[in-house]
Structure 1
Amino acid sequence: MATDPPAPAPVRFGIVGCANIARKVSRAILHSPNSTIVAVGSRSAAKAAAFAAENGFYDAVLDDPDVDAVYIPLPTSLHRLWAVAAAQRGKHVLLEKPVALSAAELDEILAACESSRVQYIDATMWMHHPRTAEMEAFLADQRRFGRLQAIHSIFSYNCGGQDFLENDIRVKPDLDALGDAGWYCIRASLWAVNYRLPKTVTALKDAELNEAGEI
C-alpha cells in the first residue's frame, strides 16, 4: 500500500535586527506551513527581548546551529556585512530592500552566497506578489493601456515632525540615506518600463533638510 511521503521539515529562520518591518515578516513566516522562527538578534538585548516577548520567540545569534535561514531587516548600510556573515556560516539569506548601497556591495553578497552554496532572495514583497504579475500583463497589452510615455512617482511618510527629521534611520546618511523611501519610486518606475533607463528624471528642489544634510 502506497503511503504519502513525509512532509519536509520547516525552514527555521533567525532574524537579525528588530525593525518594524520584521514584525510583519515574522508573522508571515509563522503563518507559513513550512517555516518557523527560532532566533532573534539585535544590537540591544533589551530591544530583542521586547521583540521576542511580543512575538513569542527568543533572542539568539547567527551561530545558532538550529537556524537554517536568516532574515535581515537592518539599515541598508549594514546589509553587506551581515548578509556575507550569514552566508559564510551556511545560512540562507532573506535580505530586506534595498538590498545594498551599490551594485558592488550586492556582488559581494551574491558571491558569498554562491561560494557557500546557500540561497539568496530579496524581501521585496510587492515584486513577488501575484497582483504584480497581473499589472505587468496589463501594461504589456498596449491595445488596452496604450504606450507608457511618462511616470509620476511620489513616496512620503507621515513623519511626525522634528523627531523624525533628527532621529529616524531614513534620514541618517550613515545608516540608510533615504534608500528605503527613494527605492520605491525608482524600482516601480524601472519595473514599469522593463528596466530601461529613463531619458529624463526631474525631482523637486528646495527640500527641507536636517542637520545631517538629509531630507
Structure 2
Amino acid sequence: MADIVNWGILGAAKFAREHMAPALHQANGARLAALATSSLDKAAPFQAMCPDLSIHLEYDTLLADPGVDAVYIPLPHTMHVEWAIKALKAGKHVLVEKPVAMQADQIDPLIAARDDSGLVAAEAYMIVHHPQWQRARQMIRDGAIGQVAYIDTVFTYDNRKDPDNIRNRAGTGGGALPDIGVYILGAARWVTGAEPRSVDCDITWEGRVDATSRVTARFPGFSYSGMVSMRMLPYQRFTIHGDQGVLELTAPFNAGVYDIAQIIVHQPGMGRRVERFPGVNQYKLQVENFCAAVTSGAEYPWTLENAKGTQAVIDAAYAAAGQPS
C-alpha cells in the first residue's frame, strides 16, 4: 500500500463540504481524489478546494474508480450500511458517518463484510481522536478523581425551522438520539470503558421523531444522566463526578466550533485548574489515524464493534421510552 490514501466521498453533504472534505485535503497521508454527486452545483465548492478532483455522477462509478483507495460516506443514516458494504465489495476502505445503522444488529453484516474483505472499515466518531478526550480517559484510568460516581451530559441545538432536514424526518433516520445521542452515550462508554446495566428514557416526540430525549442509565459503580435535543439553544457539556474530584469537558463534541476544548479539573487541595486544547482539528486527526490504519496497520481507536455498542444503548433507550402514540 502506498503512503498516500486516495479518498472519494459519496455525496456532497453539507457536513462533508464544511468539515470532512477540508480534513481529507489537509491531512497527512491523505489525498481527496474524487466526489460522487449528481449535482455539479454542489460539486463546485469541493472543486474550488481541490481543482483536480474527479467528479462522478453516480456512486457506483466512484466505487469502480481505480484511483480511489478509501471512501467516506456521509449519506443519510438509513443508507450507511448498504453503501459501506458496496464499497468494501469494490475493494475500498470505508469511513462511514455516525450512526452506522438504525439498530445494533444491522451493523453485523457490515462487520462481516469488513472481516471478509480484510479492509479497514470504521465509524467516523471523531471525538475519540481529540486529545481532550484522550486526556480525560487517561485521567480516569489513573484515578485522578477517584472512582467515577456520576456522569451528566447535555448536547442540544435547534433546527425546528428546517422541517425538511433529514434529522427531522423519520424516513431518513432522523431524531435527536440517532444524530447526537451517539455522542453523549458513546463518550460515556469510551471514557470509562464501561457498559450500562440498565437504561431508561423519556422522549418528547414530534410525529415519529424524538425531538428531545432524556436518558438515564446505571453503569457498574456509577449512574448516568444525559439529554439531547433538536429544539433547544445550542449547548454542550460533559461532566464526570468522582468520589475525589470532578472533570468538566467544555466543547466536548464540537471542539473549536462551539468553543475551545478544555478540561476543568477539580481536585481536593488543588482547587480548580484548566487544561486547554486550542487549535486542534479532530476531523484531520481522524483521517490521519484512519490512513495510518490502512498503510501501516496501526490500531484505530473506534471500531464498528464500538459503534454497535453505542447503538445497542440507543436501542435500549427507545425500547424503554416506548413507541410514540
Interval of TM-score (by shorter of Structure 1 and Structure 2): 0.7 to 0.9
Residue equivalent to 1:13: 7
Question: With structure 1 as the length reference, what TM-score do the two structures score?
Answer: 0.82
Q: 1:128 to 1:33 in 2, by over 3 A?
A: closer
- What are structure 2's unaligned runs of at least 5 residues? 57-61, 212-325
Answer yes or no: is the 8 Å Cα contact 1:13–1:67 preserved in 2: yes
Distance 1:113 1:47 in 2: 34
**Compared with structure 1, are the counterparts of its residues 212 and 51 closer, same or farther at alpha carbon in structure 2 (3 Å cutoff)?**
farther
TM-score between the two structures when normalised by the length of structure 2:
0.56
Change in Cα spacing, 1:133 to 1:214, as seen in structure 2 (3 Å) is closer
Deviation at 1:199, TM superposition (A): 3.7
Alignment of 1:33-44 (within 5 A): 33-42=28-37, 44=38
Aligned to 2:98: 97
Gap change, CA 1:38 and 1:171, over 3 Å in 2? same
Cα distance per residue 1:92-140 (max 9 Å; x no partner): 1111122222222221112112222211122111112233221111122
Take 2:74 and 2:41, find their aligned partners in 1: how far apart are those partners?
14
Higher strand share: 2
Report the residue type matching 2:22 in the other structure: R
The code of the aligned residue for 2:153 comes to S
CA contact (8 A) 2:137 2:192 kept: no
Q: Is the 8 A contact 1:52 1:59 kept in 2?
A: no
Contact 1:173/1:214 (8 A) holds in 2: no
Give the distance between the partners of 1:9 and 1:191, measured in 2 at CA: 30
- Amino acid of the structure 2 residue aligned with 1:122: E
Taking a change above 3 Å as real, the CA distance of residues 29 and 49 of structure 1, as seen in their structure-2 partners, is: closer
Match status 1:155 vs 2:152: no
Gaps of 5+ in 1: 1-6
Q: 1:116 to 1:66 in 2, by over 3 A?
A: same
Is it true that 1:59 corresponds to 2:65 in the alignment? no
Q: How many residues align?
A: 201
CA contact (8 A) 2:21 2:46 kept: no
Letter of the structure 1 residue corresponding to residue 49 of structure 2: N
| 2:73–2:84 Cα contact (<8 Å) kept | yes
Task: Report the counterpart of residue 261 of structure 2 in structure 1.
Answer: none
Distance in 1 separating the partners of 2:101 and 2:120: 17
Amino acid at match of 1:169: I
CA distance in 1, matches of 2:198, 2:141: 20
Stretches (4+) displaced over 3 A: 198-203, 211-214
**Identity percentage of aligned residues:** 30
Equivalent pair of 1:153/1:189 in contact (CA under 8 Å) = no
In the alignment, is the contact (CA less than 8 A) between 1:77 and 1:101 conserved in 2? yes
Paired residue type of 2:77: T
